[in-house]
C-alpha cells in the first residue's frame, strides 16, 4: 500500500490534481514517513503552515494594490513594479456611535443623522442578526447625496441574561434574543437627505411588523431604492422599488413564493450604464442559483443556464462575469457571457470558461473590468495568484506559494464521493489516513461534522479544506472523515432544502451513508467510531450519538443547538417554520427528547457567554441527562462566546483530543 500511495503520488503531481472528482477521487499523497508531528500550538495557531497568501484589492482607479510586508502598495499592471499606495480620505464618512448614526466631515465636525435615546432602538447597524447577507446598516446613494440606513426596534424582543464573571460580584449582561415563534424585531429603512438634513422612511408596508427588509440596492441615478421585502415566514418575497426622495412605494418589480422558503442573499446589480436593467440571482426559478437579466417593469430573461449554483462577479455592460460550480461542486471557475440588446430584446452569447486549472478559483475583478486576479489552489497546489486580462489571458503570475507542509508528517488526504441517503446526489468527503498507515491494521475513526446550511466543508483546495486538527489526530493514529450532506450550500435548491422542517434528519441520513462506507473498509475498527462538531455541527454530533447509539462510541459537541425553539427567529424559522405550525418537526429534532438515549461518552463544550446558541441549550440537555440518570460530560469556556478563539483554542483542542484518546 505504501508503494501504491507513492506511485499514485507521483502520478498525481504529474497531472496536477490527479483523477478528477466526480467520477473518481483525488489524492494528496502522504509524506508522513519522515517529517515533524504537529504540536497542538502549531495545529491551532501556526500561520506558517498555511501557504503564502497575497492580499490584493482593486482600487477604484483601476490599480491593483497588494499587501506586502504589512503595507498596501500599488502594483503596476504593465511592469509588475510596486510603489507606495496613497489612500485618499473620503470627504464624508458615516459612522455609528452607540446606537446612533452620524456623519463626519473632513473638517472633523460631526453631524447627527439619527440619534437613539431608547436602548431598544438602533440606527445604522446591521439587522436581522446578519441573515440574508446583511452585514451593514448604512447604504450610500451612488451620488452621495443621500444615505439609506436601517432602524432596528427591539422593544418586543425578549432579553436573555448572561453572567459576566469578570467583575468582582458577577454582573449581568442582558442581550436581546428573538427566539423562534416569539416576537421579533421591527426594521425600517430611513433615507437621509444631506442637503436638507431630513430623513424619510421607506413606506414598506408589506407583510406587517416583523417582515424583513433585505438587500438594499440604489438605482445608479440615485432616484430609487430597491428592497427585497420578505415576510416573516420567509415564503414570500417582493422586490419593491421606492422613491428615494419621498420613501413612497413605486411598484413591486417581481415576487418569489416557495412552500419551503425563499432566501434572498444578494442585492441586484445594474447593468453598467443602465438605470433600468439589472442582474438578479435566485434559486427559485430553475432549482439552482442562476442569474437573470431583469428590468424595472418586471421583465426577466434567464442569463445563466446551468444546473449548478453560480455567483455574480462583475459586468461592464457588455459582458457579465460569474463563477460557477458547473465543472464540479468542489471546484470554482470563472465564466463570462456576452450580453447585447437589439430591437427584439437582449441576446446572450455562449458562456466562456476563463479559468482552467483544476481547483478552486477566487476572482477579484478590477472596477473597469479590464483585469482580474485569479487566486487558486487545489488538493496538491498550495496557491497560485495570477494577474489576468478579463478575457482570461494571464498577464503575469504574481504569487506561487511553496508547500509549507513539506517537512511535516502530513498523511494521505483523499477526496471522494458517496451517495446521499435518497440516492439522488453525490456527497463529497475528505478522508485523512492515519500516520504510517497499514491497511492490514484496524483504525479508529473520527467523523468531523458541521452539516448545516451555508457551509461547504469539502472543496478541491490545498489539503482539501483540511482543518489542521484533523491532521493532528491522523498523525496520532485516527482515520478522520469529513463529509458534506444535503442541506449544505453550492448544490442547488433541492439539495439544500431537503432539510426543511426537520433539521438534522436528512443530514444524519447522509452522514450515515458515509459512515456505512467507512465501516466496510477493512482497515476501519467498527467499534471505535467517534464524532465531533461545533454549533450546527454540535447539534449534528449529539443527534448522531443519540440516534445511532450502537454506532458512535465517543462524541464531542461544541456550542450545540439542542432544541430549535430556543434558536433565533431569522435562521430558525427559515429551516424549521414557526413552532406553532411545525410542532412535530420541533419535537422530532429536539435533543431534549433524545438525552435518555445517550449510551456512549459525550462531552459538550460551550462558551459561557455564548450569545448565538444560548447557554440554555447545553445546560438544558445536561439537566435532562441528569434527570434520566444518564452520564454526560461537560466543559464551559468562561468568557467565551459562540466560539473559543485565540490561544484558548489550543486548550479546547487538547480537551477534545484527550477525550477521544481517553475513551475512543
Give the total of residues touching a second copy (CB under 8 A): 46
Binder of a second copy out of 622, 641, 643, 661 (CB under 8 A):
622
634 counts as binding a second copy under rule CB under 8 A:
yes
Alpha carbon 75 to its chain's center: 30
353 counts as binding a second copy under rule CB under 8 A:
no
158 counts as binding a second copy under rule CB under 8 A:
yes
| Grid cell of 435 as nine digits | 500516520
CB-CB neighbours of 541 under 10 Å: 30
| CB-nearer residue toward a second copy: 398 or 622 | 622
| CB-nearer residue toward a second copy: 32 or 624 | 624
Check if 455 is active-site.
Answer: no
532 within 8 A of 555, measured Cβ to Cβ: yes
Binder of a second copy out of 45, 73, 111, 619 (CB under 8 A):
619
Residue written as grid cell 456611535 = 97
User: Which helix (DSSP H) or strand (DSSP E) does residue 584 occupy?
Assistant: helix 583-589
User: Residues 123-152: x/- map of binding to a second copy (CB under 8 A)?
Assistant: ------------------------------
Range in contact with a second copy (rule: CB under 8 A) among 22-30, 87-95, 224-232, 637-645: 637-645
635 counts as binding a second copy under rule CB under 8 A:
yes
476 counts as binding a second copy under rule CB under 8 A:
no
Beta-bridge partner residues of 72: 67
CA distance 150 to 129: 13
CB-CB neighbours of 64 under 10 Å: 22
**338-361: burial string, b at 16+ Cβ within 10 Å, e else:** ebeeeeeeeebeebeebbebbbbb
273 counts as binding a second copy under rule CB under 8 A:
no
User: Residues 180-209: x/- map of binding to a second copy (CB under 8 A)?
Assistant: --x---------------------------
Check if 610 is active-site.
Answer: yes
Check if 642 is active-site.
Answer: yes
Active site residue: 32, 309, 510, 610, which one?
610
Give the Å distances, CA to CA, from 567 to 103, 178, 564, 571: 35, 8, 5, 8
594 counts as binding a second copy under rule CB under 8 A:
no
**Closest approach of a second copy to the CB of residue 472, in Å:** 15
Pairing of strands 333-342, 443-448: unpaired
Beta-bridge partner residues of 224: 243
**Closest approach of a second copy to the CB of residue 207, in Å:** 24
Range in contact with a second copy (rule: CB under 8 A) among 67-75, 173-181, 200-208, 460-468: 173-181
| Grid cell of 610 as nine digits | 455564548
Active site residue: 26, 390, 535, 618, which one?
535
The alpha helices in 16-63, defined as continuous H runs, are 40-45
Binder of a second copy out of 171, 196, 394, 645 (CB under 8 A):
171
103 within 8 A of 113, measured Cβ to Cβ: yes
Range in contact with a second copy (rule: CB under 8 A) among 46-54, 117-125, 313-321, 607-615: 607-615
The DSSP symbol for 597 reads: G
596 counts as binding a second copy under rule CB under 8 A:
no
From 67, 101, 100, select the one nearest 85 (Cα to Cα).
67
| CB-nearer residue toward a second copy: 146 or 617 | 617
471 within 8 A of 506, measured Cβ to Cβ: no
Binder of a second copy out of 565, 590, 591, 592 (CB under 8 A):
565
Active site residue: 276, 642, 648, 654, which one?
642
Alpha carbon 194 to its chain's center: 36
CA distance 419 to 199: 55
CA distance 46 to 49: 6
List of residues contacting a second copy (CB under 8 A): 158-163, 165, 168-172, 174, 177, 179, 182, 565-566, 608, 614-616, 619-620, 622-623, 625-627, 629, 631, 633-639, 647-648, 650-651, 654-655, 658, 662
Please list the active-site residues: 535, 610, 642
Amino acid at each position: 500500500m505504501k508503494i501504491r500511495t507513492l506511485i499514485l503520488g507521483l502520478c498525481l503531481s504529474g497531472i496536477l490534481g490527479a483523477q478528477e472528482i466526480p467520477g473518481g477521487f483525488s489524492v494528496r499523497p502522504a509524506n508522513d514517513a519522515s517529517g515533524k508531528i504537529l504540536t497542538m500550538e502549531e495545529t491551532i495557531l501556526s500561520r506558517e503552515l498555511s501557504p503564502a497568501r497575497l492580499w490584493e484589492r482593486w482600487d477604484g482607479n483601476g490599480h491593483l494594490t497588494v499587501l506586502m510586508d504589512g503595507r498596501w502598495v500599488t502594483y503596476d499592471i504593465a511592469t509588475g513594479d510596486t510603489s507606495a499606495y496613497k489612500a485618499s480620505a473620503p470627504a464624508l464618512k458615516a459612522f455609528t456611535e452607540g446606537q446612533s448614526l452620524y456623519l463626519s466631515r473632513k473638517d472633523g465636525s460631526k453631524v447627527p443623522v439619527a440619534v437613539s435615546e431608547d436602548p431598544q432602538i438602533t440606527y445604522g447597524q446591521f439587522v436581522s442578526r446578519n441573515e440574508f447577507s446583511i452585514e451593514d446598516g448604512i447604504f450610500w446613494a451612488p451620488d452621495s447625496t443621500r444615505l439609506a440606513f436601517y432602524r432596528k426596534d427591539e422593544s418586543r424582543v425578549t432579553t436573555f441574561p448572561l453572567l459576566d464573571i469578570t467583575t468582582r460580584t458577577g454582573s449581568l449582561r442582558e442581550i436581546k434574543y428573538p427566539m423562534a415563534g416569539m416576537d421579533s424585531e421591527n426594521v425600517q429603512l430611513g433615507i437621509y437627505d444631506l442637503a436638507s438634513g431630513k430623513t424619510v422612511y421607506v413606506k414598506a408596508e408589506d407583510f406587517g411588523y416583523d417582515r424583513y427588509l433585505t438587500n438594499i440596492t440604489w438605482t445608479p441615478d440615485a432616484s430609487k431604492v430597491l428592497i427585497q421585502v420578505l415576510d416573516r415566514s420567509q415564503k414570500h418575497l417582493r422586490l419593491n422599488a421606492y422613491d428615494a426622495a419621498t420613501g413612497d412605494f413605486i411598484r413591486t418589480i417581481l415576487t418569489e413564493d416557495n412552500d419551503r422558503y425563499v432566501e434572498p442573499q444578494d442585492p441586484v446589480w445594474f447593468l453598467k450604464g443602465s438605470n433600468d436593467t439589472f442582474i438578479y440571482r435566485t434559486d427559485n426559478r430553475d432549482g439552482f442559483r442562476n442569474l437573470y437579466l431583469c428590468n424595472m417593469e418586471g421583465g426577466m430573461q434567464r442569463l445563466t443556464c446551468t444546473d449548478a449554483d453560480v455567483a455574480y462577479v462583475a459586468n461592464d455592460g457588455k459582458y457579465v462575469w460569474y463563477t460557477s460550480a458547473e465543472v464540479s461542486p468542489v471546484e470554482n471557475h470563472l465564466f463570462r457571457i456576452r450580453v447585447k440588446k437589439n430591437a427584439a430584446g437582449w441576446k446572450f452569447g455562449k458562456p466562456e470558461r476563463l479559468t482552467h486549472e483544476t481547483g478552486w478559483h477566487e476572482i477579484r475583478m478590477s472596477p473597469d473590468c479590464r483585469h482580474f486576479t485569479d487566486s487558486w489552489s487545489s488538493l496538491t497546489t498550495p496557491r497560485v495568484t495570477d494577474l489576468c486580462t478579463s478575457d482570461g489571458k494571464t498577464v503575469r503570475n504574481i504569487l506561487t506559494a511553496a508547500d509549507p507542509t513539506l517537512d511535516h508528517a502530513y498523511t494521505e488526504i483523499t477526496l471522494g464521493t458517496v451517495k446521499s441517503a435518497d440516492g439522488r446526489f453525490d456527497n463529497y468527503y475528505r478522508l485523512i489516513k492515519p500516520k504510517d498507515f497499514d491497511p492490514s491494521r484496524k483504525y479508529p475513526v473520527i467523523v468531523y461534522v458541521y452539516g448545516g446550511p451555508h457551509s461547504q466543508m469539502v472543496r478541491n483546495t490545498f489539503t482539501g479544506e483540511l482543518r489542521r486538527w484533523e491532521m493532528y489526530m491522523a498523525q496520532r493514529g485516527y482515520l478522520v472523515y469529513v463529509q458534506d450532506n444535503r442541506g449544505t450550500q453550492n448544490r442547488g435548491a433541492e439539495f439544500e432544502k431537503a432539510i426543511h422542517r426537520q433539521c438534522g434528519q436528512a443530514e444524519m441520513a447522509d452522514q450515515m451513508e458515509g459512515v456505512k462506507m467507512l465501516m466496510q473498509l477493512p482497515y476501519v475498527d467498527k467499534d471505535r467510531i467517534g464524532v465531533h462538531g461545533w454549533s450546527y455541527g454540535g447539534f449534528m454530533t449529539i443527534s448522531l450519538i443519540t440516534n445511532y447509539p450502537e454506532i458512535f462510541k465517543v462524541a464531542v459537541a461544541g456550542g450545540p443547538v439542542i432544541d430549535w425553539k430556543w434558536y433565533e427567529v431569522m435562521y430558525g424559522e427559515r429551516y424549521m417554520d414557526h413552532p406553532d405550525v411545525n410542532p412535530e418537526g420541533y419535537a422530532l429534532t429536539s435533543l431534549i427528547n433524545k438525552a435518555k438515549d445517550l449510551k456512549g461518552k459525550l462531552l459538550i463544550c460551550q462558551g459561557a457567554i455564548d450569545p448565538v446558541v444560548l447557554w440554555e441549550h447545553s445546560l438544558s440537555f445536561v439537566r435532562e441527562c441528569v434527570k434520566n440518570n444518564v452520564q454526560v460530560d461537560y466543559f464551559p469556556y468562561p468568557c467565551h462566546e459562540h466560539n473559543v478563539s485565540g490561544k484558548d483554542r489550543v486548550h479546547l483542542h487538547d480537551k477534545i483530543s484527550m477525550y477521544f484518546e481517553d475513551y475512543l
